[in-house]
Amino acid sequence: MAFLDNASSTRVDERVIEAMLPYFRESYGTAGMELGHSRDVAAMKGLENARKVIAESINADPLTIVFTSGQTESNNLAIQGAALANKDHGKHIITSSIEVMSVLQACKALEKDGFELDILDVDENGLVDVGQLKKKIRKDTILVSIQHANGEIGTVQPIEEIARMTSARGVIFHTDATQSYLKIPVDIQAVPINLMTMDAHVIHGPKGIGALFVRKGTRVERIMEGGDEERRLRPGVQNIPGAVGFAEAVKIWGKDESDNLLSLRHYVEQKMSTTLEDYRVTGHPVKRLPNLFSMVVEQIEGESMLVELDMDGYAISTGSACSSKTLQGSHVLKAIGLRPEIAHGSVRVSLSRFNTKEQIDGFVEALVPIVNRLRQFSPLKRGEYFMAKSEAKHEEQESSSDDDQSLG
Amino acid sequence: MREFKNPQNMGRIDDADGVGTVGNPVCGDMLRLFIKVKDDKIVDIKVETFGCVAAIATSSMTTQMAMGMTIEEAKTITRKMVADALDGLPPHKMHCSNLAAEALQKAIEDYESKTQGEKKAEKRP
C-alpha cells in the first residue's frame, strides 16, 4: 500500500507516538494552575515545552501560541474572533475563493451577522492578485484572510507582500498555513502576519491538535465560553498529549525534508510527462507546495480512477463531484476556471517522508492502464466536450465562468 | 464492485437504431447508450459512460437487463430495478442508476421516432 494522499492527513511518526505515551500513562494531569500537584506540574511542563517548540519553529514568542483542536478551530477563532473584537472599527472582511471551507464558512457566517464580505478571484494558476486585493481594501476593512498554500492544487500565495500591505493599512491579516507549515518556513519577526493557523496532522503529528499564532497587540475575542486556559482565548482542558506529539513532529522535521519532498515531486512530474497522455498539471508551475502534484486527466472521472487505484494499493484523492457526498465538485478547480467535466478528471498526489521512488514507479505503472481502460468507454472524445441541450441550460445556471477551454 | 471492475457492453454501435444521451457533466455523469433492434427485440446494446463507480456499474447492469428484451419490456426497466439488481446503492448515488435507465428510455424513444413512418408509433402517453 502506497499512501499518496498526505495533504489529507499523514501517518503519525513512531517517535511522535512514543513522546505522547507518558502523557496518557503518567503525566495525565491538567495544566490549570501554576502550583498544582505533581501530576499537574508534569503535564504543564509538557504543554509549555511544546508551546516553546511550536513558537521557535516560526521564530515567535511562546506567549503568542494558542493551542486549538486543529485547522478548523484555528481558522474560526482567527476569523470570528478578530471580527468580533474589531467590529467597532469596521465591518468589512476580504478572503479568496480558494480558501478551505472553515475559512469560507466562517466568513459567510459573519456576513449573515451583518459583516460585509469580499471574496477575491484567483487566476488560472490559483494566485491571488495583490493589486486587486489592495483596491478592495476600504476604510472599514478590518480583516484579510488568505491562505499560505492551497491543499488541492498547491499554489503558494505571496503572503509576505500581502502582510506588508495590510500591515501598512492597519488591517489584520490572517493566513491559514496548515499545508505549508514547516514545508515553507515563515519567520513571524520578518513578516507582519497577525494570525496564523497551523495543524499537526499533516506533518506526521496526531489529529485533533493545532495552533493559532496571535501576534501581541492583535485583538481577538474568544468564540467559546469557559475557563481561563490559553490566555482565555481557548477555554477547556488542553489536549496535552496532542500538544506534546505536535511538538515532537516539529522537532523531527528534517532540515532537508522539504528539498527531499521537492525532488520526489519532480520525479512524479517527470514520470508522468513521459508516460501519460492528455493531462494538465493544475496549480502554479513554480510557486507550489514541494509535496503536492495535482492534475486533470481528460475524458475520465476521478472517482473511478481513485477506486481502481485503491484496489491496486495506491491512495490518492480527487476533486471530482462524484467522490463527494454532496456531489459538488471542488470549489478550487472551479475557481481556477476549469470546465466541470475537465475538473472531474482531477487527481492529487501528495507526498510525505514515507514515500519512495519505487512507489511512484508503481503508481504510474498502475495509473496508465486504468486511464486507458476508462477512456475506452468514455463518451467524451479528445477535444469533444459536448453537452445535451437540457444540460447546457442547466450548465448556464450553474456556472458562469467556463473560459478555460484550452487544454494541452 | 464486480460490475465496475468488469463492466459489460461498454462501447458504441456505429449503425445503432436508437441512441440516448443523458447526463450532466456538472454533477459528474454522462452516458450515451446505443441499441440495435431486430423484430422488436433489442439484439445489441452498448454504452459509453463518463462517471463514477456507480454510474459504470449501473450502465453495465442496465444493458445486461435490457439485452434480448422486447421494446415494450425494456420500457419497464426502472432505476430501482437496476439498483436492486446491484444489491442496492448508497442514497446519494441513486441518481446514477437513474441515468442509465433514462438513457435506455431515450434510446428507445429515438428508435421509435425513426421507425414511426414504417409502423404505428407505440409512444407512451
**Is residue A114 assigned to a domain?**
yes
- B21 - beta bridge partners? B32
Q: Are residues A223 and A273 in the same domain?
A: no
Residue A371 CA to residue A255 CA, distance in Å, equals 37
- Above 50 in pLDDT, residue A333? yes
pLDDT score at A199: 98
**With bands split at pLDDT 50, 70 and 90, how would you rate the model's confidence at A384?**
very low
Domains present along chain B, CATH in parentheses? 2-111 (3.90.1010.10)
What's the pLDDT at A176? 98
Task: With beta carbons under 8 A apart, name residues in chain A contacting B25.
Answer: 339-341, 344, 385, 387, 391, 395
- Among candidates A199, A190, A185, which has minimal Cα distance to A243? A199
> How many Cα atoms within 13 Å fall on the side-chain side of residue A152?
22
**Against a cut of 0.90, is the pTM above it?**
no
| pLDDT band, residue A387 (cuts 50/70/90) | very low
Residue of higher predicted confidence among A308 and B26: A308
Question: Does A179 share its domain with A60?
Answer: yes
**A238 and A122 within one domain:** yes
Q: Which residues of A are catalytic?
A: 322
| Residue B118 pLDDT level (bands cut at 50, 70, 90) | low
Question: In angstroms, how far is the first alpha carbon of chain B from the final one?
Answer: 37
The CA-based diameter of chain A, rounded to the nearest angstrom, is 73
pLDDT band at A4 (very low <50, low <70, confident <90, very high): very high
Share of chain A above pLDDT 70, in %: 90
A196 and A127 belong to one structural domain: yes
ipTM for the predicted complex: 0.79
Q: Average model confidence (pLDDT) for chain A?
A: 90
The answer to whether A140 and A89 have CB atoms below 8 angstroms apart is yes
Q: Which of A231, A252, A273 is the endpoint of a domain?
A: A252
Count of helix runs (H) and strand runs (E) in chain A = 14, 12
Looking at the 3D structure of chain A, how many domains does it have? 2
Q: How many residues does chain B have?
A: 125
Compute CA distances A47 → A31, A177, A240, A341, whole Å.
Answer: 7, 22, 6, 48
The single-letter code of the amino acid at B77 is I
At B10 the three-state DSSP class reads strand
B1 band by pLDDT with thresholds 50, 70 and 90 = low
Of B93, B124, A356, B69, nearest in space to B79 by CA: B93
Tell if the CB–CB gap between A320 and B7 is shorter than 8 Å. Answer: no
What is the pLDDT, as a whole number, of residue A295? 95
pLDDT digits (tens, 9 = 90+) for A207-228: 999 999 999 999 999 999 999 9
Residue A382 in this model has a pLDDT that exceeds 50? yes
Contacting residues of A for B27, CB less than 8 Å apart: 321, 327
Cα dihedral: A113, A100, A180, A86 (round 10): 0
pLDDT beyond 80 at B91:
no
> Residue A210 domain-assigned?
yes
Residue A343's SS3 state is helix
Q: Which of A252, A277, A307 is the last residue of a domain?
A: A252
Return residues 27-56 of B near A (CB < 8 Å).
27-32, 47-56
Residues A35 and A378: beta-carbon distance below 8 Å:
no
In contact, B9 and A315? CB cutoff 8 Å: no
Q: Give pLDDT tens digits for A232-267.
A: 999 999 999 999 999 999 999 989 999 999 999 999
Closest CA to A144 of A107, A95, A106, A98: A95
Return the CATH number at A132. 3.40.640.10
Burial class of residue B38 in the structure, from the number of CB atoms within 10 Å of its CB (0-12 exposed, 13-18 middle, 19+ buried) = exposed
| A75 and A112 housed in the same domain | yes
Task: Verify that A317 and A389 share a domain, yes or no.
Answer: yes
Subunit contact A391:B26, Cβ cutoff 8 A: yes
pLDDT at A397 over 90: no
Domain span at residue A352?
257-393
pLDDT value at A126 more than 60: yes
Residues listed for chain A? 408
In a domain, A213, yes or no: yes
Please give, rounded to a whole number of angstroms, the shortest distance from the CA of A98 to a CA of chain B: 19
pLDDT per residue over B12-68, tens digit each? 999 999 999 987 655 667 889 999 999 999 999 999 988 878 888 889 999 999 999
Quick check: is A6 in a domain?
Answer: no
A6: three-class secondary structure by DSSP: coil
Report d(CA A380, CA B96) in Å as an integer: 17
pLDDT 10s digits, A127-167: 999 999 999 999 999 999 999 999 999 999 999 999 999 99
Is the pLDDT at A71 greater than 90, yes or no?
yes
Q: What average pLDDT does this structure show over A167-192?
A: 98
Rounded distance between C-alpha atoms, residue A280 and residue A294, angstroms: 9
Same domain, A239 and A274: no
Q: What b/e readout covers A340-361, taking b as 16+ CB neighbours within 10 angstroms?
A: bbbbbbbbbbbbbbebeeebbe
> Looking at residues B80-109, what average pLDDT do you find?
82
User: What confidence score (pLDDT) does residue A250 get?
Assistant: 98
Is residue A355 within 8 Å of A342, Cβ to Cβ? no
Is the confidence at residue A332, as pLDDT, over 60?
A: yes
> Any chain B CB within 8 A of the CB of A269?
no
pLDDT (0 to 100) of residue A378: 85
The answer, yes or no, to whether residue A386 has pLDDT greater than 60, is: no
pLDDT value, residue A399: 40
Instruction: Answer yes or no: do A293 and A211 share one domain.
Output: no
> Is the same domain home to A240 and A323?
no
Which is more confident, A404 or A374?
A374
Task: Specify the 3-state DSSP secondary structure of A196.
Answer: strand
- Which among A301, A325, A376 has the least Cβ separation from residue B28? A301
For residue range A25-56, what is the model confidence (pLDDT) as tens digits?
Answer: 999 888 866 667 787 888 999 999 999 999 99
The pairing of beta strand A210-214 with beta strand A195-199: antiparallel
Cell of A189: 519577526
Classify A204 in phi/psi space as left (phi over 0), alpha (psi -120 to 50) or beta: left
Sign (positive or negative) of CA dihedral A333, A336, A341, A346: negative
Same domain membership, residue A110 and residue A231: yes
A245 and A263: one domain? no
Q: Do A379 and B10 touch (CB under 8 A)?
A: no
Assign residue A289 the CATH number of its domain: 3.90.1150.10
| Domain co-membership, A235 together with A302 | no
Cβ distance A329 to B28 less than 8 Å, yes or no, reads yes
Domain boundary (A217, A237, A252) is at A252
